[in-house]
Amino acid sequence: MKNYIAKRLLQLLPILLGITLLSFLLMNTGAADAVDVMESNTGSVMTEDEKNILREELGLHRPLYQQYIVWLGNLLRGDMGESFVSGQPVFDTFLSKLPATIYLTITSILLTVFLSVPLGILSAVKQNKITDYLIRCLSFIGNSLPNFFVSLLLIYFFSLKLNLLPVMGNTAGWKSVILPTLTLALSMTSKYTRQVRATVLEELNKDYVLGARARGIEEKKILYFSVLRASMLTIVTLLALSIGSLLGGTAIVESIFMWDGVGKMAVDAITMRDYPVIQVYVIWMAIIYVCVNLFTDIFYHYLDPRIRLGKEEF
C-alpha cells in the first residue's frame, strides 16, 4: 500500500508539471499581447516606448523558458499575477470564490447520490419491467438535455411563473442553491442511475447470488447484505471521480444563476480578455481535479481488501 501511494504521488509530478507548462504556453503564445490587452482594458493610450518599458517590467522580453521558470516559481509561492481589469491578485480572488463553487458541488453530489442510488437499484431489481423502462427513459431524457437549457427552464417555471425561488445570485440563503443544484444533479443523476443499474445487475448475475438463492435466503437479504455492499465500492468511486468534472462543469450553470463562484469568475474574465484570471482558473481546476482523482484511487485501493491485504504487486 505504501509503495502504491508513493508510486502514484511520483506519477503526479510530471502531470502537474505538464499542466502548468501547457497552461503557460497556451496563455503566453496564443493569447494577444498582454500589454495591448492591458492598454485596451484600462482605456489609456500608451506610446510604443511606454509599452516596451512595461513589457520589460513584466519580463516579456526574456526567452520563453526563462519566463516559464520565473512564472512557475511565482506560482508555487501563490503569486499568479494581477487581474488586467481589477488589479487584484488573481490567486486571492480565486481563493475567495472557491468556497461557493465547492458548496454547490457538494449539494449537487449529495442530491445525485440520494436520487441515483435508489433509482439505479430499483431499475436493476425490476429489470425489463415497466419501472425499469420508465427510469431508463427518464435518464435518457436527462442525458440529452444540455444544462444551460435545464437552468433556463427551471428559472422560467420556478422563479418567473411560480415565483417560488430567487432567479439568481447566492444571497438568498438556502433557497438560492436549489435551482443550480437541481440543474447539476439532473444530468449527473441521469448518468449515474445507469451506472448504478449496470453495477448492481452485474453483481446480481454472479454465482454467489445464485448460491444464496439456492440456499433459500430471502431476495431482500441478498440484495441489502451482499449485492449492495459489493456494488457500493464501484458506485462510490464513480461518484468521487465525477467531483472533478463537476467542479469544472459548473462554469455555465454558475454564470446563468449568477452564482459567485470560480466558474462565473472565469466566464466573466473571458469577456474582458482577463488572461491571468482564466489562467488561475484553468491551472487550479486541473490541479484539484488531478488530486481528487488520485485520492479516490488510493482510497479505492485501500477499501478493496484484495489489494489492502494481498501482496503489494504494484
Partner 1 sequence: MREKKIVKDYTKQKMLVFGVLVGMVILIALFAPYLTSYDPYEQDLGNALLPPGKEHLLGTDRYGRDMLSRVMVGAQSTIFSALLLVVVITVMGSMIGIICGYHGGKLDVFLMRLSDIFLAFPGMVFAIAVASVMSGGIFNAVVALACISWPKYARITRSQVMAIKNMPYIEAAKLSGSGTLKIIRKHILPNIAGAIVVTAVLDIGTMIMEIAGLSFLGLGATPPTAEWGSMMSNGRSMLQTSPWVILAPGTAIFLTVMIFNLAGDTMRDILDPRQRKG
Which residues form the interface with partner 1 (CB under 8 A)?
A: 14-15, 18-19, 22-23, 26-27, 30-32, 127-128, 132, 136, 140-141, 143-149, 152-153, 155-156, 160, 194, 198, 201, 213, 244-245, 247-249, 251-252, 255-256, 266-267, 269-271, 273, 275, 278-279, 281-282, 285-286, 289-290
In terms of CB distance, is 86 or 144 closer to partner 1? 144
The amino acid occupying position 79 is D
Cα distances (angstroms) measured from residue 172 to each of 169, 177, 288: 7, 8, 28
Place of cell 506610446: 47
Cα distances (angstroms) measured from residue 78 to each of 11, 85, 86: 23, 19, 18
In terms of CB distance, is 259 or 275 closer to partner 1? 275
**Residue 165 and residue 264: Cα distance in Å, rounded?**
20
CB of 128 to partner 1, least distance (A): 6
Q: Evaluate whether 78 touches 71 at the Cβ level (below 8 Å).
A: no
CB of 123 to partner 1, least distance (A): 9
Q: For 27-89, where are the alpha helices, taking DSSP H only?
A: 34-42, 48-58, 64-76
CB of 107 to partner 1, least distance (A): 18
In terms of CB distance, is 198 or 238 closer to partner 1? 198
CB of 168 to partner 1, least distance (A): 11
CB of 160 to partner 1, least distance (A): 5
CB of 246 to partner 1, least distance (A): 8
In terms of CB distance, is 211 or 310 closer to partner 1? 211
In terms of CB distance, is 45 or 160 closer to partner 1? 160
Cell numbers placing 269: 474574465
Q: Evaluate whether 254 touches 101 at the Cβ level (below 8 Å).
A: yes
In terms of CB distance, is 109 or 256 closer to partner 1? 256
CB of 204 to partner 1, least distance (A): 11
Q: Evaluate whether 283 touches 193 at the Cβ level (below 8 Å).
A: no
In terms of CB distance, is 1 or 198 closer to partner 1? 198
- Specify the 3-state DSSP secondary structure of 274: coil
Spatial CA neighbour of 142 closest among 194, 180, 177: 194
**Residue 256 and residue 152: Cα distance in Å, rounded?**
8
CB of 2 to partner 1, least distance (A): 23
- The helix or strand, by DSSP H or E, that contains position 115, with its residue range, turns out to be helix 90-125
In terms of CB distance, is 156 or 224 closer to partner 1? 156
Question: Phi/psi at 78 (nearest 5 deg)?
Answer: 80, 15
